[in-house]
Chain A
Amino acid sequence: MTLGFIRPETVYEAMEFLSEHKDNSRIVAGATDVMVQMRSAKSTGHAEEKPLWMVDITNIPGLSYVNFENGIVRIGAMTTHRDIARSAVIRDVVPFLADACRSVGSPQIRTRGTIGGNIVNASPAADSLPPLTALSARLRLISRKGPRDVALEEFFKGPYRTIIEPDEILEEVYFEAPESSSGCAFLKLGRRESLAIARLSVAVLLDVDESGKISKAAIAPGACLPMPARITSAEEALIGEIPNEEAVHSASLEVGEEMVRVSGVRWSTEYKKPVVCALTKRAIWKALGVDED
């Protein structure tokens, strides 16, 4: 396999190149996934035969930022996990996204890997996706044909598959900041404390109204569905309830049921189903301000 490497200086240059080489280009947005995938393909003898252009867009100025204006949080696609985890805005407004980005890989991976790469790679275990899904985030894609905005939940077609066109670049992800009265939590189960791919994760975003009842709920599990999704049945089990063990329990059961409904019964289901319920329960209570750990 022959590899070419190009590092455009501007978004325009990148778009031009991609439109010319759309059949044999791959965007590099930190390389923490794409390099691993290429090495794995090589070691299994499945490397691509045709020449490939690696288009590194991490050098383009102006794609790394966190902005908070008019109630909208905008994150540039080339913002690293490290920068998001350290961003005062993110930590203040959506701390569970900071937690998720802090749980990615290792310091080295967090310093190279970007949120844009995490989204477009579309791994079912991607750490940033559950909180972004719970936030109903939207994406802005750009190409020479112009920009288009899509909802995060509509972006995915399946594991590692999205609707992004070969000549498109993800420019930013944005979402409405939740009410200041809301609470959120991200919990992750990995095989070790660091450098761990999520075996299961869950993001929960809740709001409680003045009467003490849960008024808004968003629950998005990770690593147990083919692509990110909110579990509306679980959310419905909470809405209108004054927080209580029974409601939290039934919401968590809905997450387990939905996992089995969507992903089917596998060898790991016997373990994953009860554990995702336990994780969801703890995340809901944590979002409500009760943290057992």
Chain B
Amino acid sequence: MTKTKWVGTDVTRIDAKDKVCGTLEYMSDLSFPNMIYGAVLRSKYPHALIKKIDTKRAKELDGVVTVLTHEDVPGLNGFGIAIPDQPVLCRDKVRYMGDAIALVGAESKEIAEQALELIEVEYEPLPIVDDPEEAMLDTSPLVHETGNIHNHVKIERGDVEAAFNEAYVVVENTYFTPRQMHAFLEPESGVATIDDDKNITIWCGGQHPYRDQLQVARALGMNPRKIRIINTPAGGAFGGKDEITVQIYLALLVLHTDRPAKIVLSREESVIAGMKRHPMKIYMKTAAAADGTILANEVRVVSDTGAYASLGGPVIGFAIEHSCGAYRVENVRLEGFCVYTNNGVAGAFRGFGANQVTFAVETQVDMIAEKLGMDRLEIRKKNGLRKGDIAALGHKMEASVGLLRTLEAAENSRLWQLREELKAKPGAPHKKRGIGIACSFQGCGLGKGLPDYGAATIELLPNGQFAVGVSCPEIGQGNTTAFVQIAADYIRCSIDDIVMLSGDTGHTLDSGTSTASRSVYTGGNALKLAAGNLHSAISTLAAEILSVPESDIDIEYGSAVSKSCPEKTVSFKKIAELMVERGKTIKGEGYFIWPVSETELEGYVGIPHLLYSYITQIALVEVNTLTGETEVLEAVSVPDPGKAINPQGVEGQSEGGVVMGMGYALTEDTIIEEGITLTRNFSTYILPTSLDMPCEIETIIAEELEPSGPFGAKGIGEAVCVPISPAITNAIHDACGVWMKQIPATPERVYTALKSKEVP
């Protein structure tokens, strides 16, 4: 592996100072002269026909600049990453409370909101469907005329029945998981401008500027080149800004008024209209031999995608791919349904379907270990995937596999080594302590069958610095800092000489999404190719300057050197000066295409993956047996990110992931009853606070270098929030003997489980 100066070190985040000082301008902080404020009229019913929309009174209100409806959408009145089934502005039907019907632009936010109240909409309420299993029945009301089952995945391998018959132990359970909210600090918001030639610029926190550009262009019926999207910085996203949020509304407002426009959703509106994690009902039957070998797994998952598809289809595929855990399982019968209901909308969310099934399968594995009297870590080591193994979908693990490395590092952690000692001293007689462990894998990239590629640019600037462009937006994960480090080591320059350009269709080529744990791997590989091309251009000029053949030029940190005559050197700064003098440009572009698995599953796209990150996590909990409260005292997180480009950044992701997975396990759920969202803000949606965090989260980075990755890197943004949830519920079992089959494991649920255990 190439020797590095920056990669692998704790370089300070490039946005740290501005974020800490509060000087970084997020999109909702931007303003322009003569700007109007937009507000969106949302549906009054979770399911209804629209009979009439009358905007006359709203238009007459003083200070209202425009009121737009479906009639004012010039292009396709729809958006959606997979299929554009969500109307920009509804014409004849609403399918959830977040559906948009009209859009107001006014001189102030207050006037815009007042105008919303003056828009008269006549509805004919329809029966709602709020249970995904009911939605699958022929008798159910239809959310979409095409049927309520949006996607069905079915994969069988081996002989499941025979395996169940010969198994020593079989565990069979049904699990339920909640509708977790991304809860980014910055709700969906942005600003837009339009120039005299009708070129539109949109600043809006997002995760894929080029796809935003495409979706906006499609809705406006415009050439995408006339639309510039700037996604960086986003005030948090976690998948919840992967889909279109307010970009099209901003574009419509500026197009119809020729004035700059701004939209900032309130938290309540964000909660009602925005994406969530798919709630799933998971049936799982798992068989094992007496020695702990997992023989078979039967899985049936029903996933509630709400009113529109977004990425619900790929999420159920991903869930099925990960439903047998990071284990070899030869006999599988896996089936998943992604179903429409009138319950909000669900889409991409950190983990992308792995969180739900990992909770189920990691509980199953602990149950098997208990029945066999086997050590919980041993059973995982025994069945855990190794390089070259065949995984559940029948595909070979061709890339680096670090699972065992993470399990072994977890085994050696202080928490695991001292577990009996730590458990023995609870804080009070009515409190019980337990330790739980869980592991998982996480597919990186978009998977087989979906085009996955990315480009990057490096340009020598007149002052000797380098402009580095990768369009994958900075959504808080730290990828821009990683790109700076990677670029500096490939270019061989100082990180101080990098000017980072991110998330802007105007200044960067398409590098794809900041999702799927893919941006560092994609951007890094594209930068590697770009740096090669840059070096050729530098060598050409350096050869001229040093009067040596181009083949004699070597690139060192900060300069070009003659191999044959090492005292002949020319600095990048000098080369830049001569470049300007001679009217030249020195630039490198890199285009990277993802490698994919050899296995093709006919009829499916997005599965399987070639590359996975791996992780093992441990939790120490204390359960209050009088109240059912669970406190996570300490956690250990052992990710395999491939090469850790920035170890401190990996630690940051790891700690944030642990807390997000803890909220998922213990407190978080967006409650929707009969299509109405009840938990509309953070007083009732229970995010953990700093006081709820474990006192200590130890991150041990277990690097299993990936040969195809930049400096050996894979991705780590998602895996860090996945196995911690079942590690916590397994710890609850270890503490007081109850299996939590539904999360969040609220005090009521734990208490009820404890009580029913007492009754034999």
Contacts and interface: CB of A to CB of B under 8 A. Distances in A.
B430 interface: yes
A278 B268 contact: no
Nearest to A191: B686
Contact of A39 (B44, B266, B429, B746): B266
A271 B747 contact: yes
B165 interface: no
B680 A193 contact: no
A157 to B, nearest CB: 24
B752 A270 contact: yes
Contact of B691 (A189, A194, A278, A292): A194
Interface in B645-702: 667, 680-683, 686-692
A45 B626 contact: no
B54 interface: no
B743 to A, nearest CB: 14
A268 interface: yes
Contacts of A191: 667, 686, 746-747
A36 B428 contact: no
A40 B683 CA distance: 11
Interface in B338-355: none
Contact of A193 (B266, B269, B430, B689): B689
A39 B667 contact: no
A195 B689 contact: yes
A275 interface: yes
A39 B268 contact: yes
Interface in A85-128: 106
Contacts of A279: 626-627
A282 B626 CA distance: 10
B272 A192 contact: no
Contact of B629 (A42, A189, A194): A189
B627 A189 contact: yes
B305 to A, nearest CB: 23
Given A45-B44, A189-B629, A194 B751 contact: no
A244 interface: no
A106 B686 CA distance: 14
Q: Is the interface of B mostly helix, strand, loop or mixed?
A: loop
A43 B667 contact: no
Interface in A189-216: 189, 191-195, 197
Nearest to B626: A278
Interface centre among A195, A268, A282 (most CB of B within 10 A): A195
Q: How large is the interface on B (under 10, 10 to 19, 20 to 34, 35 or more residues)?
A: 20 to 34
A43 B116 CA distance: 12
A245 interface: no
A106 B278 CA distance: 31
Contacts of B689: 106, 192-195
Nearest to B427: A293
Interface string B269-299: 1001000000000000000000000000000
A43 B691 contact: no
Given A193-B692, A194-B689, A195-B682, A271 B269 contact: no
A268 B626 CA distance: 15
B692 A192 contact: yes
Interface string A280-293: 00100000000011
Interface string A253-283: 0000000000000001011001100110010
Contacts of B690: 194
Contacts of A270: 752
A278 B627 contact: yes
Contacts of A47: 117
B429 A292 contact: yes
A189 to B, nearest CB: 6
A43 B428 contact: no
B746 to A, nearest CB: 8
Contact of A192 (B117, B427, B626, B688): B688
Contact of B428 (A1, A39, A292): A292
A268 B748 CA distance: 8
A142 B683 CA distance: 32
Interface string B612-640: 00000000000000111100000000000
A40 B680 contact: yes
Contacts of A189: 627, 629, 747
Interface residues of A, number: 26
Nearest to B749: A271
Contacts of B686: 191-192
Interface in B89-117: 117
A1 B118 CA distance: 11
B680 A43 contact: yes
A39 B688 contact: no
A193 B272 CA distance: 26
Contact of B683 (A43, A194, A197, A271): A197
A106 B682 CA distance: 12
Interface in B34-55: 44
Interface string A1-25: 1000000000000000000000000
A272 B150 CA distance: 41
Contact of A292 (B268, B430, B688, B748): B430
Contacts of A195: 682-683, 689
Nearest to A193: B691
Given A191-B686, A197-B683, A268-B748, A43 B268 contact: yes
Interface string B527-561: 00000000000000000000000000000000000
Contacts of B691: 192-194
A106 B44 CA distance: 33
B266 A275 contact: no
Contacts of B272: 43
A124 to B, nearest CB: 15
Nearest to A3: B110
A271 B752 contact: yes
B544 to A, nearest CB: 63
A43 B748 contact: no
A236 to B, nearest CB: 24
A212 B692 CA distance: 40
Interface in A19-61: 36, 39-40, 42-43, 45, 47
A30 to B, nearest CB: 15
B758 to A, nearest CB: 12
Contacts of A271: 628, 747-748, 751-752
A127 to B, nearest CB: 14
Pick from B44, B627, B686 the residue with the most CB of A within 10 Å: B627
A43 B627 contact: no
A271 B626 CA distance: 10
A40 B688 CA distance: 22
Contacts of B626: 275, 278-279, 282
B627 A194 contact: no
Interface string B423-458: 000011110000000000000000000000000000
B692 to A, nearest CB: 5
B628 A43 contact: no
Interface string B47-65: 0000000000000000000
Q: Which 5 A-B pairs have the closest CB atoms?
A: A193-B691, A43-B268, A278-B626, A194-B691, A271-B748
23 contacts: A36-B683, A40-B681, A42-B268, A43-B266, A43-B268, A43-B272, A45-B44, A189-B747, A192-B692, A193-B692, A194-B690, A194-B691, A194-B692, A197-B683, A268-B748, A275-B627, A275-B747, A275-B751, A278-B626, A278-B627, A292-B428, A293-B427, A293-B428
Interface of A: 1, 36, 39-40, 42-43, 45, 47, 106, 189, 191-195, 197, 268, 270-271, 274-275, 278-279, 282, 292-293
Given A194-B692, A197-B683, 13 more contacts: A36-B681, A39-B681, A43-B266, A43-B268, A189-B627, A191-B747, A192-B686, A194-B689, A275-B626, A275-B747, A278-B430, A278-B626, A293-B427
